[in-house]
Amino acid sequence: MGEMSTDKNIDIDSLELCDLMDIDLLQKFQDNFAKSMDIASVTVDRKGNPVTRPSAYTEYCINFIHSTYVGDHECAKSHRVAGEIAAKSGKPYIHECHAGLVDFAMPIMVCGKQIGTILGGQILDSSLDETKFRDIARRIGANEEQILKSVKKVKVTTRKNIEAAAEALFIIANELSKFGYEQLKLKGTSEKLEFEILRNNILLRQAEECNKLKTQLFATVSHELKTPLNIIFSSVQLLENIYDKNKCPPTNDTFLKYSNIMKQNCYRLIRITNNIIDMNKIELGFYTMKFKNEDVVKVIEDISLSVVEFANLKNLELTFDTDVEEKVISCDSEKLERILLNLLSNAIKFTKYGGSIYVNIHDEGDHIFISVKDTGCGIPKDMLENIFDNFVQVDNSLTRDAEGSGIGLCLVKSLVEMQDGKIEVKSELGIGSEFIIKLPVKINESVGFVNNSESLNDNVEKIKIEFSDIYV
């Protein structure tokens, strides 16, 4: 028989036969075995108490041995001793009982511990010895002739047959107990899993509720920010129009100075709220992409040229280079513009005066690589893994010349992946950083080629919004 693995959640010392076996099924099995083999049997628990009714007990044992006090007492003692010997050996114990018959005790074991015993036998393995049974009759106080008459009805078989029957019963009974134990383990595991599933479902519902509340909060905050922001921004534009038309002649540059500050901070708030709204749309699956077949080289070049003015403010050299003059791919150019503007904005923010920024395009046939590299402050190694997570900011110092919400790169990564692309970063602290975008080269056959001649310079406001957190 195979070894049973123990389960620390099951106390074997407290196990009873009824925990592992269907007693009614055990009774039927015992009855059928006793009837077919003509061998008496009964099953007892670890304390010796019967859990089944006796099967095929002989007239000799029922009417004479158990009918006397001495015989019944000696029988109980014989069963107890045989059960103890069988438990120690872990196998069937065959012996001659106090009443002169051959009996056997078969331990029912679970993980090396006895939880019950099958007692049986009440048979002879040799011809009747009248002298022996007359002595037994006198010892227990029974009628000698009646005992001899009843013992002659006892089955006689060979020792070999007795051993074979005992071994078969031992194997079957222990396989049943093993099966019962595995079922008990499975039940325990199932109950544990049910509890874990229930707990995880509760946690999932709580997480979903928190996520829902977070989304509602962001949406509410974004809306509440954007409404007064639009009013402030419109007011600033109105003041500028009045100023431009000389309806309110200035006495100094104070108005111009503070109107520019107000406008830049309006742009900055617009950028933050736009990013929050878009991240929520992406998380909820409401964000839409508009794919067209466009020359990605021209798109990237136009973006790069459009921010030269901002690079010049910090005396930065911005270089655009490509190893292919034209590459038409299916992409969302508006989202691509936003990706590049964010990366270029970061490059300008974190590169000191007189540094360099490089925008490169490399064609590898099936994929095109877009690189934005700078000679800025770089990113610490411990932050590289999380740089694309929400609200992660590289510069946490109290004094810095650039601001940020920590949402931009997370949004960039999402926009790249929504175009089946990938983005990675290489950086060395104090040397600079390089962001590399990998986009698949594929054509959308359902739409034609779009020659987008519109320059980003025609949309200055979009650039001003993206670069609103740069202070020079």
Strand partners for 328 = 295
- The residue-averaged pLDDT of 103-124 equals 83
How high does pLDDT run on average in the chain? Answer: 82
Q: 366-423, pLDDT tens digit by residue?
A: 999 999 999 999 999 888 888 888 655 655 443 345 555 567 898 999 999 999 999 9
Given a cut of 90, whether residue 234 has pLDDT beyond it is no
Tokens of 79: 């069963």
Residue of 453, 461, 470 lying closest to 301 (CA atoms): 453
pLDDT band at 455 (very low <50, low <70, confident <90, very high): very low
Q: Which residue has the tokens 């320059």?
A: 455
Helix, strand, or coil here: 450? strand
Rg of the chain (C-alpha set): 45
Is the pLDDT reported for residue 183 higher than 60?
A: yes
Instruction: Say what the pLDDT of residue 233 is.
Output: 76
| Least trusted range by pLDDT, from 33-47, 146-160, 322-336 | 33-47
Q: Quote the Cα angle for 465-470-472, to 5°.
A: 130
Strand order in the sheet with 432-440: 317-322, 356-363, 367-374, 432-440, 422-428
pLDDT band of 438, cuts 50, 70, 90: very high
What one-letter code names the amino acid at 437?
I
Q: Is the pLDDT of residue 191 over 50?
A: yes
Phi-psi region of 136 (alpha: psi -120 to 50; beta: other; left: phi over 0): alpha
Which residue bears the tokens 């508006």?
A: 334
What is the C-alpha to C-alpha distance for residues 187 and 216, in angstroms, rounded to an integer?
Answer: 43
Q: Which residue has the tokens 């003015």?
A: 309
Instruction: Say if residue 359's pLDDT is above 90.
Output: yes
pLDDT at 281: 82
HSE (CB half, 13 Å, CA atoms) of 197?
6
**What are the residues whose beta carbons fall under 8 Å from the beta carbon of 417, sequence distance 6 or more?**
423
Determine the pLDDT at residue 432.
Answer: 94
* CB count in 10 Å sphere of residue 64: 23
Q: Report which residue type is found at 236.
A: V
Mean pLDDT of 122-129: 86
pLDDT of residue 416: 96
| Weakest mean pLDDT among 52-56, 145-149, 179-183, 374-378 | 179-183
Q: Which tokens is 455 given?
A: 């320059």
Q: Is 272:407 a contact under the CB 8 Å cutoff?
A: yes
Question: Tell me, what's the pLDDT at 116?
Answer: 82
What is the model's pLDDT at position 9?
Answer: 61
Most confident of 3-17, 104-118, 289-303: 289-303
Q: What are the b/e assignments for 138-158, b being 16+ CB within 10 Å?
A: eebebeeeebeebbeebbebe
